[in-house]
Structure 1
Amino acid sequence: MGRYAVLVSGPAGSGKSTFCSALITHAQSIGRNVHLFNLDPAAERFEFQPSIDIKELISLEDVMEELKLGPNGGLIYCFEYLLDNLDWLDEELGQYDDDYIIIDCPGQIELYTHFPIMSRLVTLLSRTYNFKICATYLLESQFMDDKTKYFAGVLSAMSAMINLEVPHLNILSKMDLVERGETGEEAKAGRRREMERYLDPDPLLLAGEVNAKTNPKFHSLNQALVQLIEDFSMVSFMPLDVTSEESVGSILSHIDNAIQYGEDEEPKEPKDMDGGDFQD
Structure 2
Amino acid sequence: MGRYAAMVSGPAGSGKSTFCTALITHAQSIGRNVHLFNLDPAAERFEYEPSIDIKELITLEDVMEEMRLGPNGGLIYCFEYLLDNLDWLEDQLGQFDDDYIIIDCPGQIELYTHFPIMSRLISVLQQQFNFRICACYLLESQFMDDKTKYFAGVLSAMSAMINLEVPHLNLMSKMDLVAKGETGDAIQTGRRREMERYFDPDPLLLVDEVNSKTNPRFHALNQAVVQLIEDFSMVSFMPLDVTDEDSVGSVLSHIDNALQYGEDEEPKEPKDMDMGDFEE
TM bucket normalised to smaller: over 0.9
Task: State the Cα distance separating 1:216 from its structure 2 match.
Answer: 1.9
Q: Distance in 2 between matches of 1:184 and 1:26?
A: 29
Partner residue in 1 for 2:239 = 239
Tell me, yes or no, if the aligned pair for 1:133 and 1:259 is still in contact at 8 Å.
yes
Q: Which amino acid aligns with 2:166?
A: V
SS of residue paired to 2:201: coil
Task: Return the match for 2:275 from 271, 274, 278.
Answer: 278
Cα RMSD of the aligned pairs, angstroms, is 0.9
Unaligned stretches of 5+ in structure 1?
none
- After TM superposition, give the deviation of residue 127 of structure 1 in Å: 1.2
Query: Partners in 1 of 2:187 and 2:31 — Cα distance?
Result: 39
CA distance in 1, matches of 2:203, 2:218: 16
User: What is the one-letter code of the residue matched to 2:264?
Assistant: D
For structure 2, list consecutive stretches of 5 or more residues without a partner in the other structure. none
Q: Does the 8 Å contact 1:151/1:210 carry over to 2?
A: no
Q: Which letter maps to 1:253?
A: S
Partner SS, residue 271 of structure 1: coil
**Residue 79 (structure 1) aligns with:** 79
Listed one character per residue, the Cα deviations across residues 224-255 of structure 1 (whole Å, up to 9, x for unaligned) are: 11111101111000000101110000000000
| Deviation (angstroms), 1:213 | 2.0
**TM-score calculated relative to the size of structure 1:** 0.97
CA distance in 2 between partners of 1:211 and 1:65 (Å): 45
Q: Which residue of 1 aligns with 2:201?
A: 201
Q: Are the counterparts in 2 of residues 22 and 242 from structure 1 also a CA contact under 8 Å? A: yes
List per-residue Cα deviations over 1:105-125 (Å, max 9, x = no partner): 000000000000001111111
Partner amino acid, structure 1, of 2:221: L
Residues 37-52 of structure 1: pairs in structure 2 closer than 5 A? 37-52=37-52
| Paired position in structure 2 for 1:149 | 149
Which residue in the other structure is 2:95 paired with? 95
- Following TM superposition, by how much is the alpha carbon of 1:183 offset from its aligned partner in structure 2, in angstroms? 2.2
Displaced runs of 4 or more, over 3 A: none
Query: Amino acid of the residue matched to residue 270 of structure 1?
Result: P
Alignment partner of 1:234: what SS? coil
| 1:257 match | 257
Q: How far apart are the structure 2 equivalents of 1:147 and 1:243?
A: 26
| Count of aligned residue pairs for this structure pair | 277
Q: Distance in 2 between matches of 1:96 and 1:212?
A: 53
SS in structure 2 of the partner of residue 11 of structure 1: coil
The match for 1:119 is: 119
1:177 aligns with 2:177: yes
Aligned twin of 2:34: 34
- Deviation track 1:140-189 (CA, whole Å, cap 9, x = no partner) reads 00111111111100000000000000000000001011111212222211
Taking the aligned partners of 2:2 and 2:101, their CA distance within structure 1 comes to 11
**% identity of equivalent residues:** 84
Could you list the per-position Cα deviations for residues 85-119 of structure 1 after superposition, in whole angstroms to 9, with x for gaps in the alignment? Answer: 11100101111111100000000000000000001
- In the alignment, which residue of structure 2 is the partner of 1:24? 24
Q: Aligned partners of 1:110, 1:170: CA distance in 2, in Å? A: 17
Cα separation, 1, equivalents of 2:210 and 2:94: 48
Q: Supply the AA of the counterpart residue of 1:240.
A: L
Deviation (angstroms), 1:211: 1.8
* Alignment pair present for 1:214 and 2:214: yes
CA distance in 2, matches of 1:39, 1:225: 32
Aligned partner of 2:15 in structure 1 is 15
Moved more, 219-228 or 190-199: 219-228
Moved more, 122-131 or 9-18: 122-131
Tell me by how many angstroms 1:222 deviates: 1.5
- Paired amino acid for 1:200: D
Q: What SS does the aligned partner of 2:275 have?
A: coil
> For 1:7, what is the secondary structure of its paired residue?
strand
The one-letter code matched in structure 2 to 1:187 is I
**Counterpart in 2 of 1:159?**
159
